């Protein structure tokens, strides 16, 4: 039987993938979508520690350190979320 934390992580990752797909559906990431995604990750710490997730977290950390999503970060987020969301 799978450990409960593994199941929680699996469920959270599936939800995160759905959220990523919905965000980049239009090929963009708005400031509000970045905030929503960041807040979701903060509420779901089980997803941390996975390379793809940690890359996204790194970009979001930079975004919220200076309070704005610049064009480079926006492009990076679109790419990473498209890759992550499948």
Q: What is the pLDDT of residue 6?
A: 84
Q: Which residues contact 38 (CB under 8 A, 6 or more apart)?
A: 60, 63, 64
In angstroms, rounded to a whole number, what is the distance separating the alpha carbons of residues 22 and 14? 13
In angstroms, rounded to a whole number, what is the distance separating the alpha carbons of residues 11 and 15? 6
Spell out, as residue ranges, where the chain has pLDDT lower than 50.
none
Which residue segment(s) compose the domain that 48 sits in? Answer: 4-85
pTM: predicted TM-score of the whole model, two decimal places: 0.88
Q: Tally the domains of the chain.
A: 1
Q: What is the pLDDT of residue 66?
A: 84
């Amino acid at each position: 039987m799978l450990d409960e934390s593994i199941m929680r992580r699996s469920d959270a990752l599936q939800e995160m993938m759905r959220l990523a797909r919905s965000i980049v559906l239009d090929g963009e990431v708005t400031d509000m979508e970045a905030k929503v995604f960041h807040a979701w990750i903060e509420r779901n710490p089980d997803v941390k520690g996975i390379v793809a997730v940690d890359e996204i977290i790194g970009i979001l950390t930079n975004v919220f350190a200076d309070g704005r999503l610049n064009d480079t970060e926006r492009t990076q987020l679109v790419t990473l979320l498209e890759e992550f969301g499948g």
